[in-house]
Amino acid sequence: MMFARVIFTVRYGYYSDFLNEILNQEITLENVQQAEYGFTACCYAEDYIKISRMAAGFQCRTKIVRKKGMYFLLKPYIKRKGLILSRLLLPVLCCFYGCVIWKIDIKTTDDVIKNKIACSLYNQGIYRGNICTKDKLTDAQRLLMLENKDLGYVTLNFYKGILTCEVYKRDEKKDEKNTYEYRDIVSQLTGVVRDVRVYRGFSNVQPGQPVSAGDILVRYNETDSKNRYYESQTAAYIAGECEKKYSVFIPYDKKVAVYTGQQYSEETVNFLGKEFNIKPNEITNLSMCTKQSSITTGNFGGFILPFTVKKVTYSVMEYVQISTELPEIRNIAQTQLNNMIINDRKLEKEFYRNYDYRLETDGISAVCTVDGLYIMT
């Protein structure tokens, strides 16, 4: 601390003897002046530490009046390591400004497509902080077109650290020729036909006619009385009153994987095409763990920097034997059957349902019979 000085005062006690002792210790003092009950002087900051320790032996009190020097001006900034680090990193980042990706801008309002493209680019090594080349962009653009058949076109443009991805959606135009086929429409259920709407083809049933599964409802060909042969594409809506059964099996004892509450994480920083592991993984057995990854952009003090931080969290699981009682098992079975009925798109209208439970050695077999109006095609 050669450029740091302090002006201090010494009061009370045997201050005159104390001043002589300071001089005997060959400590340099400047501007020594008489003060009330003591004296004032100026010395180097490192010498003041010795003086303050010696004062107790002479029953004196020391107090700093003023600090001066370059060291005390720079001291608040020396403790802020971020300022020093930023001054060291700024020239390095400016050198790579033209070839390093600072920002990726995917121009689309569809979040699903945006996340899919971002993950695909990351897997190909295109992320913040990595070096971008023309060949890498060409290969990435070609692979994006192969992975996303529903997109019309994708462009990747890199300019001054910003990678812009333009996404153009494909105009979906239905082809009437491919909507229908030259084939017979066959019944999938057994019941009584209630509603017949034939849009294309030749009807083979009438309302009130009973049919079985596998019977032809609409034909694609027809021969008239003069043996003239006709073919047509088929399309129809045919509904009938049918009986359908839904079944599930619920075991008494079941092994269920549950979380133990233990979590382990690892973090890696991707910069200039290299990975730096800043927090290694502490778990060795990953067979009973679920993995969740998150990718964040690097920032420092609110400023975005060209590097990417990848955090992988592992949650430990274990198998637990769960035993359920009979009433609870029946409720679980009934809930699953109800979900199957609700999600059945063929059911137009329900008339009646009946539940049947059968006890077995290792569980319960539940069957629900539903009478209703079903789409038979």
CATH number at residue 157: 3.10.20.310
Q: Please indicate, yes or no, whether residues 187 and 237 belong to a single structural domain of this protein.
A: yes
Model confidence at 300, pLDDT cuts 50, 70, 90, reads low
Residues 6+ apart with CB under 8 A from 341: 246, 347, 350, 353, 368, 370
Is 210 inside a domain boundary? yes
**pLDDT value, residue 222:** 81
- The DSSP letter of residue 234 is B
Q: Please indicate, yes or no, whether residues 191 and 231 belong to a single structural domain of this protein.
A: yes
Is 94 inside a domain boundary? no
% of residues, the chain, pLDDT over 90: 10
Which residues lie across from 200 on neighbouring strands?
235
Q: Please indicate, yes or no, whether residues 199 and 218 belong to a single structural domain of this protein.
A: yes
Is 221 inside a domain boundary? yes
Is 329 inside a domain boundary? yes
For residues 296 and 269, the answer to whether their CB atoms sit within 8 Å is no
**pLDDT value, residue 35:** 84
Q: Please indicate, yes or no, whether residues 12 and 67 belong to a single structural domain of this protein.
A: yes
Q: Please indicate, yes or no, whether residues 69 and 113 belong to a single structural domain of this protein.
A: no
Q: What CATH number is associated with residue 70?
A: 3.30.70.250
Torsional sign, CA 94, 98, 99, 105: positive
Is 156 inside a domain boundary? yes
CA distances from 6 to 25, 30, 65 (A): 18, 10, 7
**pLDDT value, residue 127:** 79
Least confident of 40-44, 94-98, 312-316, 324-328: 94-98
Least confident of 50-54, 187-191, 297-301, 369-373: 297-301
**pLDDT value, residue 99:** 75
Domain with 290 in it: 254-322
- Average the pLDDT over 147-172 and give the result: 78
Model confidence at 175, pLDDT cuts 50, 70, 90, reads very low
Q: Please indicate, yes or no, whether residues 188 and 145 belong to a single structural domain of this protein.
A: no
**pLDDT value, residue 174:** 46
Helix (H) or strand (E) holding 25: none
Model confidence at 243, pLDDT cuts 50, 70, 90, reads very high
Q: Is the pLDDT of residue 176 over 60?
A: no
Total domains, the chain: 5
Q: Please indicate, yes or no, whether residues 71 and 128 belong to a single structural domain of this protein.
A: no
Q: Is the pLDDT of residue 173 over 80?
A: no
Model confidence at 90, pLDDT cuts 50, 70, 90, reads confident
Q: Please indicate, yes or no, whether residues 310 and 292 belong to a single structural domain of this protein.
A: yes
Q: Please indicate, yes or no, whether residues 194 and 143 belong to a single structural domain of this protein.
A: no
**Coil/strand/helix, residue 348:** strand
- Sheet architecture: strand order including 162-169: 103-107, 162-169, 151-159
Least confident of 73-77, 141-145, 359-363, 367-371: 73-77
**pLDDT value, residue 2:** 58
Q: Please indicate, yes or no, whether residues 150 and 183 belong to a single structural domain of this protein.
A: no
CA distance 40 to 51: 13
Is 274 inside a domain boundary? yes
Q: Please indicate, yes or no, whether residues 261 and 290 belong to a single structural domain of this protein.
A: yes
What tens digit of pLDDT does each residue of 189-220 get? 999 999 999 888 888 888 999 999 888 888 88
- Average the pLDDT over 260-282 and give the result: 75
- The DSSP letter of residue 332 is H
What tens digit of pLDDT does each residue of 9-60 get? 998 888 888 888 888 888 888 888 888 888 999 988 888 888 888 888 888 8
Is 86 inside a domain boundary? no
- Single out the residue of 265, 263, 261, 298 nearest to residue 279, CA to CA: 265
Q: Please indicate, yes or no, whether residues 203 and 236 belong to a single structural domain of this protein.
A: yes
End-to-end Cα distance, the chain: 92
CA distance 63 to 96: 52
Is 266 inside a domain boundary? yes
Q: Is the pLDDT of residue 369 over 90?
A: yes
Indicate whether this model's pTM tops 0.85.
no
